[in-house]
Structure formats: C-alpha cells, structure tokens
C-alpha cells in the first residue's frame, strides 16, 4: 500500500534540493545591535513585523529586521495561486484558496486591533477582501520596505550554544533569467510565521490503489484529492462524491458540491456534525477500500462513488527547520519523546514541542528567545492572537529577562499538558488546537497580555485584551451568520454597513445584528441547537 501523504511529501525535498549546485554568496558582514529574521508575510509575520517596529525607537535602535516571504505578495493563505497556475499531485498549490471561499466568522472579530477592514466590506467577506486587508495593513504601517518577496528560506542552522550564538539562514531567490540565487545570512533571532495550511494531512486506507485503478467503464476517473486542490464545485456535477471531514474546508465543499453532485456523502466522526444546509448523506469513518467499493466502520458499503474530497486538515511541518539531521526541528510522526525528554524541538505532525505558550522554543541548544513561532494556535482568531503573541515576542527580544527560566517555562508546559490529560485528551494529539472553544481561545490571548502587564512592560488599564464585542462576535458567530443571511435576502446590506468606519462602529453592527436576529427568531419560535 502506498502512503499517499508520504508519496506527495517525498517529492518536496527533490523540488527544493535537486537544483544544480549554485555557489552561495555570503551577505556582507555588518554588526547591527540585534538582527531578526521573520519568515512568512501572512497574518502572523505581518503582526510580528509591525509589533517589533512599534517598540520605542530607543529600544530598537540599531536593530536589523528582515521578513522573508516566498510568494509574490503578502497575505499568506489568503493569497491565491498565480493566474493560470493549476497544481496537480504531488505538486502542492501555493494556496488553499478557492474562488467561492468566504470567511466563516464575521470580519470585525478577525482584525488586528484598531485596524478595520475597508468601509462597506460584507460581514462575511470573500477571500479577496481578506487578501486586500493584509495588503492594506502592510502599506498603512509602512512594512513593505522590510519585506523581501519571492525569497524562500531553505535551511537554518544554529551556530552556538545555550547562551549565545547566531542562526545561519540560507535563502533562495530567482534572478531575472530564472537562475537560482542563494544567499546566506546570520541572525540573532528567528521568528517562524509560515502558517500551517500548506502540507495536507492525507489519511491512508488499505485498498486505495486497487480502487483508484479500477474505474468502471463509462464513469468519471476515480480520484482522491485533499481539499487543498479543491477549486470548482462544477467539476463534481453528476458525480458521486464523499467529503471526508467536518472542518471549515469540508463544510464548504459539502455545501457547494452537494447541489450539483449525483450523490453526496459526508464521512465524519461520531462527535462531528454534518455541514449545515448541505444535501448530504452522513456516513461514519471509512474503514478500507476494495477494488470496487468503499467500506465504512459500521459495515456499510458504497460502490458508486467517483470522487473523495479530503477535508482532513494539515500537518505541522516547517521544512526549512528540518532540512538536515543537524537542523533544529526533528520530524517524527511516531515519536516516543515528550516535552521533557526531547533533546531538540520535535513535531509529530500535529504538535511542535516543547514550546512556551505555543511561541518560544524550549530547546536547550540555544537561548529561549532565539526561536519563536507566531500563529500556531488553531481554532482562534488569527490577527488579534498574532498581535498578542508578537507583543510577548517583541518585548522578550528587547529584554529576555522578562521570560521565566527555561525550567519554569517547561514546568508550565507540562502542567498544561497534564491538564489536557485530566480532561481525557492527549496533548500530543490535540497539539495546538485550543479545544476549550472560544472561551479558551480568548483567554489564551488575555493571559499573554496580562503577563506583559504583570512584568511592567504594558500599562495595566484594567481591561481585557479581547474586547467584549469580539467575544460576542465569536460566541454568537452562527447567530450573526443567520442574521446576515437574512439581511442579504432582504437586500439591506448597505443599510447595515453604511457608516461603519471605526472599530467601535463595527462592534455596534455586530451587537445590533445579534439583538435583531435573536428577537426575530424568538418571535418565530425558532430554536437552534
């Protein structure tokens, strides 16, 4: 049996490393007071760059800050594939964006603090509004001079010890004629903000090869594709389709494909719910394949299926951190080590550990501020969370003594992992998912800022970092979605959006919409579970 995930990922190193040998040139030596490399210009990288630049000028005097982005513009996962680009396995798309993608939460809850979307932006905007939002953020705060687009970080190595040292960072770019240009730089600090929606998790089942090879005559060629390749629901017209999973991508695919498909099924776990409004037949998890059928764990069988769309999420991989055995990140899906026994930073593809609060590496090979991550938490509003994480990073870079000792941070991590076990959860399976719902996600951000207030680098204004209206917008997201759908059906979009300019204005829109929709549902006896 071929492991499809390993098959796809096995090609990635070849694409990166089987270039003709190109002599690397060293960047001219200079001695900034502090040098910081940020990788990725999505919401996390932009947050880190903005927050560091927002430190007092005397604090960051003489600092060198460079952000490397491998793609043609900022925006991260919201930046679509280049025009005409059509990736096929094992090649991965640059982006998971599909034309019908919209946000699944109201955009005011997604914003960087005090920086709103453009006026008249629909409450649940399409992907292009979100892409433009990131462009606007970078331009408004003059971040672009610090960003090097089309620069791919290929390898990083720590040269030093637990007390001091530097990162050797190898960066690849292309010249005007397409030739590979390799640059090597040294940095004191590395901030990884490359996102976690690029390397698909592809389940493996016995029998997939035989099933794929035995398409019945006169029917569409059988296929199993991860949702990262999903683009156009029209492709599935008159097909029999199984959507696997219950996350955002699976939900969108089910809602968009089911009206067009001959048959549409959604395979989900017992604790999951099918996509609301989708015309799907719910099936349990897949057990295995035969040459002519798909068998489920309850013993039921389907023989008519043409296509599977895998909305099964992504793996926590950072290739430039694990390019060689001497790299700082060990990749081992079956690892037996844990946060206290790991000799180096490790990923089991679900969880990168040991990290302090999902941010600072606790490897004993380098100082605690040498390697930081932004944007690892899942099930959280990225932009505000990224700013909260970046505030801790920025102030710790300015004064590393703000952080507890490595031992104290490791103890805190172990206590957190133990608290998950008490709840019946495996921390190495849960990974970076904030499983306590929106309350845990908001508390996580609040706790980061409370810590900075406690150590005296932020003023204690007596307020929570996550404003009440953001909490409302997240906890009542489904109610707001239903209300906004009714607004659109009534053709009153402009009426609700007109005049919303400031953060306070947008907060008011959310509060009014919640009250308006709740009153209407109560009057009509509508109860949602």
DSSP letters, 272-296, are --PPTT---EEE--EEEE-SS-EEE
Q: What are residue 219's phi and psi, to 5 degrees?
A: -120, 160
Whether residue 88 sits in one domain with residue 64: yes
* pLDDT of amino acid 456: 97
Domain end among 279, 310, 341: 310
In this structure, the answer to whether residues 412 and 385 fall within a common structural domain is: yes
Question: From residue 120, how far is each of 185, 482, 493, 499, 505 by CA, in Å?
Answer: 44, 19, 9, 8, 12
CATH number at residue 124: 3.50.50.60
- Residue 460 resides in a domain: no
What is the CA angle 54-321-187, rounded to 5? 45
> Residue 356 domain-assigned?
yes
Question: Where among 284, 310, 336 does a domain terminate?
Answer: 310
**Residue 416 placed within a domain:** yes
Distance CA 203, CA 340 (A): 29
Are residues 154 and 216 part of one domain?
A: no
Q: At what angle do helices 503-523 and 468-475 cross, to 10 degrees?
A: 40
Domain boundary among 285, 310, 335: 310
Q: Are residues 89 and 109 in the same domain?
A: yes
**27 lies in some domain:** no
Do 289 and 215 contact (CB within 8 A), yes or no?
A: no
Instruction: With CA atoms as reference, report the closest residue to 359 among 79, 116, 51, 112.
Output: 51
62: nearest Cα among 30, 37, 36, 34: 34
Of 255, 299, 311, the closest CA to residue 280 belongs to 255
Pair 45, 157 in one domain: yes
User: Domain range for residue 508?
Assistant: 468-524
Domain total of the chain: 3
Q: What angle do CA 286, 292, 295 make, to 5 degrees?
A: 20
56 and 97, same domain (yes or no)? yes
In a domain, 2, yes or no: no
| Same-domain status, 69 and 194 | yes
> Distance between CA 372 and CA 358 in Å, rounded?
9
Q: Are residues 101 and 78 in the same domain?
A: yes
Instruction: Report how far residue 419's alpha carbon sits from residue 425's, in angstroms, rounded to the nearest whole number.
Output: 9
Rg (the chain; Cα; Å): 24
Distance separating alpha carbons of residues 151 and 147, to the nearest angstrom:
9
- Same domain? For 179 and 41 the reply is yes
Kindly list the strands in the beta sheet with 307-310, ordered across the sheet, starting from the edge strand earlier in the chain. Answer: 223-226, 307-310, 240-244, 263-267, 281-283
Task: Give the pLDDT confidence score for residue 18 in this predicted structure.
Answer: 33
Short-list 521, 474, 341, 514, CA closest to 413: 341
pLDDT per residue rounded down to tens, the chain (529 residues): 334 343 333 333 323 333 333 445 565 556 899 999 999 999 999 999 999 999 999 999 999 999 999 999 999 999 999 999 999 999 999 999 999 999 999 999 999 999 999 999 999 999 999 999 999 999 999 999 999 999 999 999 999 999 999 999 999 999 888 899 999 999 999 999 999 999 999 999 999 999 999 999 999 999 999 999 999 999 999 999 999 999 999 999 999 999 999 999 999 999 999 999 999 999 999 999 999 999 999 999 999 999 999 999 999 999 999 999 999 999 999 999 999 999 999 999 999 999 999 999 999 999 999 999 999 999 999 999 999 999 999 999 999 999 999 999 999 999 999 999 999 999 999 999 999 888 999 999 999 999 999 999 999 999 999 999 999 999 999 999 999 999 999 999 999 999 999 999 999 999 999 999 999 999 999 988 6
- Pairing label, strands 165-174, 152-160: antiparallel
pLDDT at 25: 58
Asked if 41 and 75 count as a contact pair (C-beta separation under 8 A), the reply is: yes
Is residue 24 within 8 Å of residue 184, measured between CB atoms? yes
Residues 222 and 345 in one domain: no
Residues 186, 218 within the same domain: no
Nearest to 319 by CA among 92, 159, 98: 92
pLDDT of residue 4: 39
């Amino acid at each position: 049996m071929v492991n499809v995930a390993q098959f796809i990922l096995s090609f990635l190193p070849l694409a990166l490393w089987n270039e003709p040998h190109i002599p690397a040139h060293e960047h001219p030596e200079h001695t900034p007071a502090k040098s910081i490399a940020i990788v990725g210009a999505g919401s996390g990288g932009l947050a880190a760059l903005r927050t560091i630049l927002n430190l007092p000028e005397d604090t960051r005097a003489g600092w060198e800050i460079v952000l490397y982005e491998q793609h043609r513009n900022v925006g991260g996962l919201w930046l679509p594939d280049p025009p005409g680009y059509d990736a096929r396995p094992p090649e991965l798309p640059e982006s998971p964006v599909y034309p019908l993608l919209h946000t699944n939460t109201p955009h005011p809850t997604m914003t960087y603090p005090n920086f709103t979307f453009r006026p008249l932006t629909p409450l649940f905007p399409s992907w292009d509004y979100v892409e433009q939002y990131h462009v606007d953020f970078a331009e408004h705060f003059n971040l672009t001079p610090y960003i090097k687009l089309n620069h791919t970080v290929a390898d990083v190595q720590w040269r030093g010890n637990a007390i001091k040292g530097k990162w050797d960072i190898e960066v690849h770019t292309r010249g005007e004629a397409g030739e590979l240009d390799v640059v090597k730089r040294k940095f004191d600090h590395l901030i990884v903000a490359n996102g976690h929606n690029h390397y698909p998790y592809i389940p493996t089942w016995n029998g997939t090869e035989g099933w794929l090879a035995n398409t019945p005559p006169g029917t569409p060629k059988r296929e199993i594709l991860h949702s990262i390749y999903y683009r156009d629901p029209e492709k599935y017209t008159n097909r029999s389709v199984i959507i696997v999973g219950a996350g955002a991508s699976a939900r969108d695919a089910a809602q968009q494909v089911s009206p067009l498909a001959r048959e549409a099924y959604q395979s989900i776990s017992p604790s999951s719910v099918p996509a609301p409004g989708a015309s799907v037949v719910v099936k349990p998890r897949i057990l295995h394949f035969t040459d002519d059928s798909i068998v489920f764990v309850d013993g039921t069988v389907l023989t008519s299926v043409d296509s599977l769309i895998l909305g099964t999420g992504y793996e926590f991989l950072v290739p430039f951190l694990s390019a060689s055995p001497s790299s700082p990140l060990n990749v081992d899906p079956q690892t037996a080590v844990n946060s206290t026994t790991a000799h180096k930073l490790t990923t089991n593809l679900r969880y990168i550990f040991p990290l302090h609060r999902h941010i600072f590496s606790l490897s004993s090979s380098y100082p605690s501020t040498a390697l930081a991550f932004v944007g690892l938490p899942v099930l959280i509003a990225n932009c505000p969370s990224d700013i909260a994480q970046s505030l801790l990073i920025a102030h710790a870079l300015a004064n590393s003594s703000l952080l507890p000792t490595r031992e104290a941070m490791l103890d805190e991590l172990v206590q957190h992992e133990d608290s998950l076990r008490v709840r019946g959860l495996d921390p190495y399976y849960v990974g970076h998912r904030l499983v306590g719902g929106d309350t845990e996600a908001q508390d996580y951000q609040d706790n980061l800022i409370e810590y900075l207030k406690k150590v005296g680098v932020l003023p204690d204004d007596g307020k929570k970092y996550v404003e009440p209206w953001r909490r409302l917008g997240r906890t009542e997201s489904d109610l707001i979605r239903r209300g906004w759908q009714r607004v659109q059906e009534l053709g009153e979009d402009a009426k609700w959006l007109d005049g919303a300019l400031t953060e306070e204005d947008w907060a008011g829109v959310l509060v009014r919409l919640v009250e308006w929709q709740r009153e209407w549902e109560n009057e009509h006896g509508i109860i949602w579970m």
